[in-house]
Amino acid sequence: MLIIFDVEGVLLNAEYLPVLAQVIGPEKEKEIWDITKLGIRGEINWEEGLKQRVHSLRGIEFEDAKRIGENLEIMPGAKQLCKVLKQAGWKMVAISGGFTIITDRLKEELGLDEIFSNELVFKHGVLDDIVINVNSDKAAIIRPYLQKWGIKKEEIVVVVDGANDLKLFDLAGYTVGFCPVEIIKRNADEVIEIRDLSLLINLLEKRFGKDLKIRA
């Protein structure tokens, strides 16, 4: 079995770029939040919106970016959920439109098998640009791994919140919207409206528990 998570708003209880924008000031934070929400709702081209946000934050120092990334709150219940799934023998993957500066820590802290994300580029110690490894078709980056691992659709669970995650649903036999936007809510098999990932344990027990001996 494989579970695929989004990161910001799912494994992390935060959106990184709006928090990073606080270094500049409240007006910049609002500007970044406005663009972020448009992207989450699918109302603008996701890649262009991401580039626009990063370029708007050029000049922020690496040390500030690193400190903020390392201190984003892990979603309540995430550690409990991942521990349960690990013990049950599940493979766990995260696919993020965010950045290595916030995702690298999760591999160790949550015991994830793989994390895919984008990269912020710093020149002379300040933020300059972005390298996009994960685009709006998040499913594209994981498909080769699914073939290599030999995992079937009915063995895949996807847990996401934003419109840019929707194509991941095509890969999965079971889909969960976690405090999601409307388009995800309409298309998900289940929806969790409380920001506590441990609530997913009961849903997975009902669907897979007898076979996989999931226990909280």
- Parse the chain into domains and list their residue ranges: 2-13+73-120+131-212, 16-70
Kindly list the averaged pLDDT for each block of 10 residues, start to end, along the chain of length 216: 96 94 92 87 86 94 95 96 93 95 93 96 96 92 93 96 92 97 95 97 87 50
CA–CA dist 103, 133 (Å, integer): 13
Report which secondary-structure segment, H or E, holds 174. Answer: strand 174-178
Determine the topology of domain 2-13+73-120+131-212 in CATH. Answer: Rossmann fold (3.40.50)
Q: Give pLDDT, residue 212.
A: 55
Q: Give pLDDT, residue 45.
A: 86
Q: Give pLDDT, residue 216.
A: 42
Q: At what angle do helices 62-70 and 100-110 cross, to 10 degrees?
A: 30
Provide the whole-model pTM. 0.92
CA–CA dist 118, 13 (Å, integer): 19
Gyration radius (Cα) of the chain, Å: 17
Q: Give pLDDT, residue 43.
A: 86
Q: Give pLDDT, residue 210.
A: 59
Q: Give pLDDT, residue 38.
A: 86
Q: Which of 164, 154, 179, 186 is nearest to 75 (CA)?
A: 179
Where does 16-70 sit in CATH, by number?
Answer: 1.10.150
CA–CA dist 116, 134 (Å, integer): 7
Q: Give pLDDT, residue 110.
A: 97
Q: Which of 79, 75, 60, 59 is nearest to 19 (CA)?
A: 60
